[in-house]
């Protein structure tokens, strides 16, 4: 019985990753915050199209107690997490000087503290089982920094460093920790930029197009698979060569 937990799975990259891992796992647990029905729609889609069990959790991934409760309920129902995909995240575009302390704190909690929360909750079972995979969905902005996305870049740079450090700490327990630095992926998060900007971003991408959520899901699938059992502590850019 293999279980994957994917945060931010109601739409975008997390949704595509949930569909991909549902083909490969016995159970996928999916998490997101809004009560707009999208998460349940993803769960229904998985139930009707695969043999995979799908367990949705609605709540805020930056809430330590909520995450701990979800992971405990998975373990007690016979689904300790084998693969964790830390995908939930938000972006914040604007001048650094216009950012309030509350906004800075909020983006850090959702993009970084959440990764602490989920890892802290799943690692004890992974150590006990002497196996596990943790995939952090990061960004090329965490590698090179983006103007008007200082806080977001800081979050993703932090996630990259977190990934490398945790990989070293958990390697003796046969737990691999990797990150994927996404380029521009066609989801709600970037659609707010408008069609004109997205066209320019596609032109600036050497492969000549925006990434698709499925491109990231495929990389997650690979890094979570046995084929990647000697890969840990890496930040893999999946970006069509956007930052080369
Ligand atoms: P979307 O905005 O399409 O989806 C974000 C997902 O995260 C939603 O499921 C949302 O849930 C969930 N989420 C946000 N905040 C919380 C929270 N506090 N608690 C629980 N769930 C939450 O984004 P993408 O699919 O584009 O992004 C996914 C990840 O990929 C993010 O970490 C992002 O930073 C990263 N990324 C994306 C890039 C892109 O170009 N799209 C580029 C680089 C990195 P809900 O529906 O409930 O709001």
CA separation for the pair 21, 17 (Å, rounded):
6
| Buried-state track 162-189, b at ≥16 Cβ within 10 A, e below 16 | bbbebbeebeeeebbbbbbbbbbbbbeb
Q: Using pLDDT thresholds of 50, 70 and 90, give the confidence band for residue 158.
A: very high
Which atom of ligand 1 is closest in space to residue 182's alpha carbon? 43
Mean pLDDT over 74-88 rounds to: 98
CA separation for the pair 232, 223 (Å, rounded):
9
Which atom of ligand 1 is closest in space to residue 213's alpha carbon? 25
Mutate to test the pocket of ligand 1, among 6, 14, 20, 89 (most ligand atoms within 8 A of CB): 89
Percent of the chain with pLDDT over 70: 100
pLDDT value at residue 58: 98
Does ligand 1 have an atom closer than 6 angstroms to the CB of 5? no
Q: Using pLDDT thresholds of 50, 70 and 90, give the confidence band for residue 41.
A: very high
Looking at 155-213, which runs of residues are DSSP E strands? 175-182
Mean pLDDT over 200-206 rounds to: 98
N-to-C CA span, the chain: 40
How many whole angstroms from 8 Cα to the centroid of ligand 1?
6
Q: Which residues contact 106 (CB under 8 A, 6 or more apart)?
A: 90
Does ligand 1 have an atom closer than 6 angstroms to the CB of 212? no
How many whole angstroms from 172 Cα to the centroid of ligand 1?
31
Whole-number mean pLDDT of the chain? 98
Mean pLDDT over 9-17 rounds to: 98
Are the C-beta atoms of 7 and 114 separated by less than 8 Å?
yes
Report the predicted TM-score, pTM, of the whole model to 2 decimal places. 0.99
Mean pLDDT over 137-154 rounds to: 98
Largest CA distance in the chain: 51
Residue 27 DSSP one-character state: E
Rg (CA), the chain: 17
Number of H helices, E strands in the chain: 10, 7
CA separation for the pair 104, 68 (Å, rounded):
24
Which atom of ligand 1 is closest in space to residue 33's alpha carbon? 47
CA separation for the pair 196, 164 (Å, rounded):
36
Is 19 one of the catalytic residues? no
CA angle at residue 104 from 39 to 198, to 5 degrees?
A: 60
How many whole angstroms from 11 Cα to the centroid of ligand 1?
8
Mean pLDDT over 108-120 rounds to: 98
Does ligand 1 have an atom closer than 6 angstroms to the CB of 98? no
Does ligand 1 have an atom closer than 6 angstroms to the CB of 88? yes
Q: Which residues contact 41 (CB under 8 A, 6 or more apart)?
A: none
């Amino acid at each position: 019985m293999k279980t994957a937990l994917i945060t931010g799975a109601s739409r975008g990259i997390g949704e595509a990753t949930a569909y991909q891992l549902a083909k490969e796992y016995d159970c996928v647990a999916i998490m997101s915050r809004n009560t707009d029905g999208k998460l349940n729609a993803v769960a229904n889609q998985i139930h009707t199209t695969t043999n995979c069990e799908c367990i949705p959790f609605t709540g805020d991934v930056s809430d330590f107690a909520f995450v701990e409760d979800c992971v405990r309920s998975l373990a007690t129902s016979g689904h300790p997490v084998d693969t964790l995909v830390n995908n939930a995240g938000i972006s914040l575009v604007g001048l650094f000087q216009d950012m309030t302390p509350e906004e800075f704190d909020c983006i850090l909690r959702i993009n970084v503290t959440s990764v602490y929360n989920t890892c802290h909750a799943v690692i004890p079972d992974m150590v006990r089982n002497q196996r596990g995979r943790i995939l952090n969905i990061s960004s090329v902005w965490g590698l090179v920094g983006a103007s008007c996305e200082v806080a977001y870049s800081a979050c993703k740079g932090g996630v990259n460093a977190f990934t490398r450090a945790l990989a070293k700490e958990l390697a003796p327990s046969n737990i691999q920790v990797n990150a994927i630095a996404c380029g521009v992926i066609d989801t709600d998060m970037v659609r707010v930029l408008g069609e004109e900007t997205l066209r320019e971003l596609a032109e600036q991408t050497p492969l000549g197009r925006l990434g698709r959520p499925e491109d990231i899901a495929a990389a997650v699938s690979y890094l979570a698979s046995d084929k990647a059992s000697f890969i840990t502590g890496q930040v893999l850019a999946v970006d069509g060569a956007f930052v080369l």
